[in-house]
Structure 1
C-alpha cells in the first residue's frame, strides 16, 4: 500500500508538471515548489527560538485555523510560526499574511522531503487543520516525538480510514498526538478503529465568523448605494456557473423592484462574468466599473474583486451559497452568522453545519431551478417568515463557538 501511495503522489506531481503550461493553478503549484526546500532552509538558518508549524490545505482550511493561529500567537509570542499550504488558492492569497513569521508551500510528501523540511523547521509543535493526512510528514514527526495535533477534523464512514483495505490510512491517524474533532460522531468513528487519542472540541470556523461579525464593518460606499432603496438583497456567495444557471429563472421571475442581487463568484474568470451578464442582459454592473449612480439603478452587482464576500453578507437579506450543484457546498457560516435565511443545492451532506441548518429550518436545500424559484419567491414575498429564521441562524452560530478556547486549553 505504501508503494501505491508513493507512486500516486509521484504521478500526481508529474501530471501537474505536464499540464502546467496550460493550467495556471498547476503552474503555480509546480513553480512554487521549485527549489522550495533550499528556500526554507535558507530562511530559517539563523532563526532562534521555538517554532510552531501550522499546515492548511487551502484557503478554507486557513480560515478554519485562523482563530487558533491568532490565539496561539497571542498566548505564546516567543514562538516563531511557520505556516504552510498545499494548494495555490491558499498560498497565493495568504502568502503575505502578517500573523505568521514564515509562509511556504508544503513540499511533496516524500520521505526525503519530510526529513529535509523538518530538519529546517525543527518545530516543537505541529498543527494540521481539518484535512491533509500526509504519511511521510506525520511518520517523521512521530519519530522525532514532535507534538502533532489535528484540529477541526471531521470523519465519515465512507472514508478510506474505515475500509478493510485502509490499514495505511489508519496508521497515519495513529501518528497524531491528539485529534480534535468537530463532532462526537467523528470521534466515535475513530475510537472504533482503535484511534483513541481523540476528543470533541467543535469547529473553529464558528469562532472565525463570530469574530468577523463583531468587527467594525469596512466602509464600502458602493455597496451602501446599491442597497439604499431598501429592497431585499440576495447575496450569492462562492457561485459557480451551474449555480448561476439555476438562479437565473428565479431572478427573472421576480420584479426588479422586489429583489436586488449581489453575486460573488468563487473564481474570478472573465468567462464567468460574461455568463452572468449574458443571462441577465442589461441588469448587471461589475463592481470594478461601478459608480454610485450606476449601482443605484442596477439589478445585479457582480463582485469581480477578491476579499469582499464576508462583508457582502452584512448587506444581505437572503443568502445563496454556491457549490452544492457541483462538487460540494462552500462556507454557509459566513452568511448564517448574520442571520440570513439560506438556500443552496443538493450536494451538502458532507457538511455538518449545513445539515444542522436545514434541520433547524434556517436553510433550504433545493434540487433544481424550479424548487429554487419557489423557495426564493416565498422568502422575498413573505418577510414575516424571515424573522424567526434570522434568530435561528444567529443563535446556532453563537452557541457553537468556543472550539478555539477548548483546543488552546488542551494543547501540550
Structure 2
C-alpha cells in the first residue's frame, strides 16, 4: 500500500491541495500569509541555522500552529536541561509562526521557521539545511514526502500527544485508516496519551515496525506551567471586579455570542442584576477591529441592558457589565478572575481549549454541537457543562452563581482532570536522549 498511497499523494493530493490553497489565498488572509512567509524561505533559514552551536545536535520540532507549539514547550524545556541540543521549531500555520514565543529562559538557542510545502525537492533542501538528529511532530500534521526523506536518511522521528479519535470519521473509514497506517509507518515512535490509544494504534499498525509508547499528554504540563506564570500578572484592576461574579468567555465566535448575549441581557434586565452582580469578560477568537465593531453594533442594536467597554479603555471603567478583550495573548491569565467560564467554538468550528479554565478549578461550559475529547472528559468528570441554547446557558449559569457550594463542587471536579497529568515531557526527553 505504500507505493499506492505514495502515487495518490504525489500526483493527486498535493497538486489539488496546492492549487486549492493558491486559489483560496486570493480571499483568505491566512493562506496568503502562508505563501508569503514561505517565499525566500531557504534564504531566510540558512543563515539562521549557521548561528546555532555546531557542537550541539539539532532537534527539529514540528507544530501545525500555536496550540501545538504550546504543547511542545515542556519538551523543549526538558531537552534543554541537558545542554546538548539546538532547537528548530517549524510551523505550517502563519499564526503559529507569527505569534509563538518562548517564555522560559533556555540554555540553548532556538530558531523558528515555516515548514516548506511537501514537495520532494523542497523537503530535501529543508533537511539539508536544518540537519536534524531527531524530529518530533506534535500531535499530527504528518507530511509523507518529509517523512520519507527522513526515513531514507535514518533520522530518528517521533510523533507525540497522539490520540486515536474515534469520534472523527477519518479514524473510522477503512480508506483513511489505510492512508494513516502508511503515514505512521515512516515514524519510529508513536507517542500516545493513554493505554486505550496504545491499543488502538497497535491494532492499526499491526505488521509494521513502529514502536508505540504511552507518554501521556504534555498539554497538562503546559497549562499547569502557564497558570503559574500568569498567576502573578495583574491584568485587571481589582476595583473593577470587586464584589462581582465574573463570567469569562474565551475564544468566542458569532454563534457563541448569539447564545451568550441574550443571557447577559436577561440577567441585567430584572431582579437578578443586583443579586448576581455579574460582569462578563468576553475574549473573541479573533479580536480584529471588524469583529469588535460588529460585536459592539450587535449589542447596541439588540441588547439594551448590556453596557460594554473595551479592555484597552478600562481606565475609563464606569460600571459596564461586559468587558471586551481587544488584544491577544492574555486569555489564560483572565481565567484566574473567573467564577465560571465558557469556552467557544462548540457551535461552529470545533471546541477550543477547555483545559485552560479547568486548570483554575472552575466550572466550564461550552456549546454542545462539536465537543472535543477534553470537553467530553470534563463532562464525564462532572466539571463540564454542555449547553444547547440560551435557555440552557441561563439556567446553568444562574444555578452556578447562586449556589456557591455547588459551584465549588463542580470546580473541584473540573480540576480533577489534571489528576491525569504526568511527566510526559520527561519520558519523551528520555527516549530522545537515549536515541541520539
TM over 0.5: yes
From the superposition, tell whether residues 46 and 231 of structure 1 become closer, same or farther in structure 2 (CA, over 3 Å): closer
Contact 1:319 1:340 in 2 (8 A): yes
Matched residues in 2 for 1:241 and 1:265: separation?
Answer: 9
* Other structure's SS at 2:160 match: strand
| Cα distance, 1:348 vs structure 2 | 4.3
By how many angstroms is 1:362 displaced?
0.4
Q: CA separation in 1, counterparts of 2:310 and 2:140?
A: 35
1:178 alignment counterpart:
189
- Contact kept in structure 1, 2:62 and 2:136, CA below 8 Å: yes
**1:78 and 2:84 aligned:** yes
Quick one: which of 314, 326, 334 aligns to 1:290? 314
Please tell me whether residue 327 in structure 1 is matched to residue 349 in structure 2.
yes
Alpha carbons 1:45, 1:120 under 8 Å: kept:
no
Q: Using a 3 Å threshold, how does the CA distance of structure 1 residues 162 and 137 change in structure 2: closer, same or farther?
A: farther
The superposition leaves residues 244-293 of structure 1 with CA deviations (integer Å, 9 ceiling, x where unpaired) of 111112111213442110111111222321333234336110011221x4
Q: In the alignment, is residue 40 of structure 1 matched against residue 64 of structure 2?
A: no
Kept in 2: contact 1:324–1:345 (CA 8 A) = yes
Question: Tell me, what secondary structure is at the counterpart of 1:30?
Answer: helix
Q: RMSD of the TM alignment (CA)?
A: 2.1
SS in 1 for 2:154: coil
Matches within 5 A, 1:187-266: 187-193=198-204, 194=206, 196-215=210-229, 217-220=231-234, 222-228=236-242, 230-255=243-268, 256-257=273-274, 258=276, 259-266=278-285
Match of 1:130 in 2: 139
Specify the SS of the correspondent of 2:151.
Answer: helix
**1:311 corresponds to which of 313, 321, 333:** 333
Equivalent position to 2:324, from 277, 302, 308: 302
SS state at 2:360 partner: coil
Q: Work out the CA distance in 1 between the residues paired with 2:91 and 2:78.
A: 20
Q: Do 1:181 and 1:201's aligned partners in 2 also have CA atoms closer than 8 Å? A: yes
Q: 1:274 aligns with which of 293, 296, 300?
A: 293
Range with greater deviation from structure 2 (95-104 or 125-134) = 95-104
Q: Which range is displaced more, 299-308 or 42-51?
A: 42-51
1:377 matched to 2:398:
yes
| TM-score, structure 2 normalization | 0.87
Shift of 1:82: 0.4
What secondary structure, in the 3-state scheme, does the structure 1 residue paired with 2:236 have?
helix
Displacement of 1:369: 2.1
Q: CA deviation at 1:46?
A: 6.5
TM-score by length of 1: 0.92
Q: Which secondary structure state, in structure 1, belongs to the residue aligned with residue 140 of structure 2? A: coil
2:126 maps to which of 102, 117, 123: 117
1:104/1:146 CA distance change after superposition, 3 Å? same
| C-alpha distance in structure 2 between counterparts of 1:375 and 1:278, whole Å | 27
TM superposition shift of 1:114: 1.4
**How far, CA to CA, are the matches of 1:408 and 1:381 in structure 2?**
47
Match of 2:225, SS state, is helix
Please state how far the C-alpha of 1:339 moved relative to its aligned partner: 0.7
| Preserved contact between residue 16 and residue 30 of structure 1 (Cα < 8 Å) | no
1:184 CA displacement: 2.2
Which of 359, 365, 370 is matched with 1:343 structurally?
Answer: 365
Report the number of matched residues. 407
Residues 304 and 218 (structure 1 numbering): CA distance in 2 closer, same or farther, change over 3 Å?
farther
Aligned counterparts of 1:280 and 1:46: Cα–Cα separation in 2: 52
211 and 221 in structure 1: CA distance in 2 versus 1, 3 angstrom threshold: closer
